[in-house]
Chain A
Amino acid sequence: MRIDVSDLTKTYKGGARALDGLSLVVPTGMYGLLGANGAGKTTFMRILAGLLKPTSGRVVIGGHDLATAEGRLAVRRTLGYLPQDLGVYPDLSARRFLDYIALLKGLHSRSARRRRIAELLEVVALSDVADRRLKGFSGGMLRRVGIAQALLADPRLLIVDEPTTGLDPEERIRFRTLLSQLAGDRTVLLSTHIVDDVAQTCRSLAVLGHGRLAFQGTVSELVSQAHRQVWTVTTSGPAPAAGRVVSALPEGAGMRYRVVSAAPPDPYARPVEPTLEDGYLALMDGRAP
């Protein structure tokens, strides 16, 4: 399911501009959306989910124009949405919560609904605790309930907003793997500020900065943004002043710094292969005013 976004702008009451002329094409498959906090990712996701109206611009999802009520309804019928700040009814069990959402998504046949909920509880590994109240669930378990509710109506479009924030490393890996497995012939739009989540799951991505499109392409294209701009410097003196320090590791009596910089930050700096994080930082630094 292809998403076409043209010249999308969102200005909130009070004048804050979250999106500023964003144009973007999202193809079928797993697609990453990177950006710093406040870059406009959540606003963009909420517009795609039909929860916010844009100030101007056009969004067409699978041929349905979000500007019309019919278009929004058609998209909601094919949409699975996991919001950034996921909430649940604490007094319902996971099974009952999913049953409620399934009813709202139009799964009216009781037997089909039960079957689908049982399948999804299995997929997210919550079958054992399905009848426990949600108020006793950990953050990771709630995220998995969230992904289960998003998948209830077998959506063609899955929008997940910062899904791994607050999860421990094991949960994060499990969650990323699950999302990758789900992609298949779906469009899965993964919004995050954690570069590693995109690096491990997506082939294509877009980067937002200050509500504008900073980059659109493949992961390797973004990595190449930092080509010949990543260096390691080992020194017992102060950190290199030039460029951006990505990491600092103690080594012997000194420190080994990894630096993204257009020019060698130190006469003894050695060039190294860039990662996606380096590419992202090089891109954002190159765009910085």
Chain B
Amino acid sequence: MIASLRYEFAMQLRRPSLWIVYGLVVAVMVTVLDYWSLDLGVYEVSAPKEAMGVAAQIVVTLLPIVYGCMLADRLPRERVLRVDGILDATPSGRTARLIGKYAGVCAATAVPLAIAYFGRALLYVFVEGQPSALGWAAVTFLASILPGLVFVGALAFAGPLLLPPMVFRVLFVAYWFWGNVIPASLMPTLSHTVFSATGEYVRYGLLTPIPPGYGRASAVLDFLRPGYTPATAWLWIGVMIALAAAVLSLVRLHASRSES
């Protein structure tokens, strides 16, 4: 598992397109969403915890799209490159290799996203002189961003088992906006539910108060939108991890069935 994790991490991280695509989307965030601005107009600019929460919200609005799309060709890659015969003939376990590959490529694909997020935290520290922002950035990243990436990573990893990677990418972008970004009042959607990967249950249930004026109109599937509390924050983390585990189990099952 460690070998796969290490090499898949290295191969994904050295992929030029990873940095180019992330770079383009971060450029959009900076120019259109005013990402580097310290005053995002939601909270007091001098409150580091809240500032890191708002930065997380911006990061998870767009960058998971790149994250998912860059993961979408990783699982079929061995077959496409015809390396699978050599790998399968080694005594390493297929399950261990699958988990190692998943963890390695997801971690590598999350590196540019983490740089964008922690880069802003560093900027904040230098300008505001509040080193505690780095600590809050780490907590926010681990609790509010990472569980979503764990689930979305598994989904994007497994999707190309059913669809060609390019088709999957198009559908993934549609899923991301439909299931995570659009307002719940617009149409039936998974946005703002415990199945949404944006981490708002942790941000508003554990870390920061709900921003002023952040009201929710009633919508379809509201039974999946409990209030923001510490309990629902932990529930959301559990749901993300459970969904990721379920998707990876299906991938392993699919591989077992394909073995004959």
Contacts and interface: CB of A to CB of B under 8 A. Distances in A.
Interface of A: 46, 49-53, 73, 76-77, 79, 81, 83, 85-92, 96, 100-101, 103-106, 146, 149
Interface string B83-98: 1111111111000010
Interface of B: 2-4, 6-7, 11, 14-15, 78, 81-92, 97, 259-260
A105 B86 CA distance: 10
Contacts of A79: 89
Nearest to B2: A103
A104 B92 contact: yes
A-B residue pairs, 7 tightest by C-beta: A87-B82, A103-B3, A83-B85, A81-B89, A104-B90, A104-B92, A76-B91
Nearest to B15: A91
A14 B231 CA distance: 52
B89 A77 contact: no
A51 B259 CA distance: 7
Given A51-B88, A104-B92, A89 B83 contact: yes
Given A76-B91, A104-B3, 17 more contacts: A49-B85, A50-B89, A53-B260, A79-B89, A81-B86, A83-B86, A86-B82, A87-B83, A88-B83, A91-B11, A91-B14, A92-B11, A100-B3, A101-B87, A103-B3, A104-B87, A146-B86
A6 to B, nearest CB: 20
Given A89-B83, A90-B81, A51 B11 contact: no
B86 A101 contact: yes
A201 B146 CA distance: 57
Nearest to B260: A53
Contacts of B84: 87
Contacts of B2: 103
Contacts of A104: 3-4, 87, 90-92, 97
A52 B260 contact: yes
Given A52-B260, A91-B11, A100-B7, A149 B91 contact: no
A88 to B, nearest CB: 6
Given A52-B260, A100-B7, A77 B88 contact: no
12 contacts: A49-B85, A49-B89, A51-B85, A79-B89, A81-B89, A87-B84, A89-B81, A91-B15, A101-B86, A103-B2, A104-B4, A106-B91
B86 A149 contact: yes
A91 to B, nearest CB: 6
The winner among B2, B7, B89 for most chain A CB atoms within 10 A is B89
A32 to B, nearest CB: 21
Contacts of A51: 85, 88-89, 259
Nearest to A152: B90
A52 B85 CA distance: 10
A105 B90 contact: yes
Nearest to A77: B91
A86 B86 contact: yes
Contacts of A50: 88-89
A243 B88 CA distance: 45
Contacts of B4: 104
Contact of A105 (B15, B82, B91): B91
A51 B83 CA distance: 13
Contacts of A105: 90-92
A106 B82 CA distance: 22
A89 B11 contact: yes
A85 B80 CA distance: 11
Contact of B81 (A53, A76, A88, A146): A88
Nearest to B259: A53
A73 B260 contact: no
A17 B198 CA distance: 51
A73 B88 CA distance: 11
The winner among A46, A50, A89, A104 for most chain B CB atoms within 10 A is A104
A52 B259 CA distance: 6
Contacts of B81: 87-90
B104 to A, nearest CB: 11
Contacts of A101: 86-87, 90
A104 B6 CA distance: 11
Contacts of B7: 92, 96, 100, 103
Contact of B89 (A76, A87, A88, A92): A76
Contacts of A103: 2-3, 6-7
A249 to B, nearest CB: 39
The winner among A76, A100, A105, A106 for most chain B CB atoms within 10 A is A100
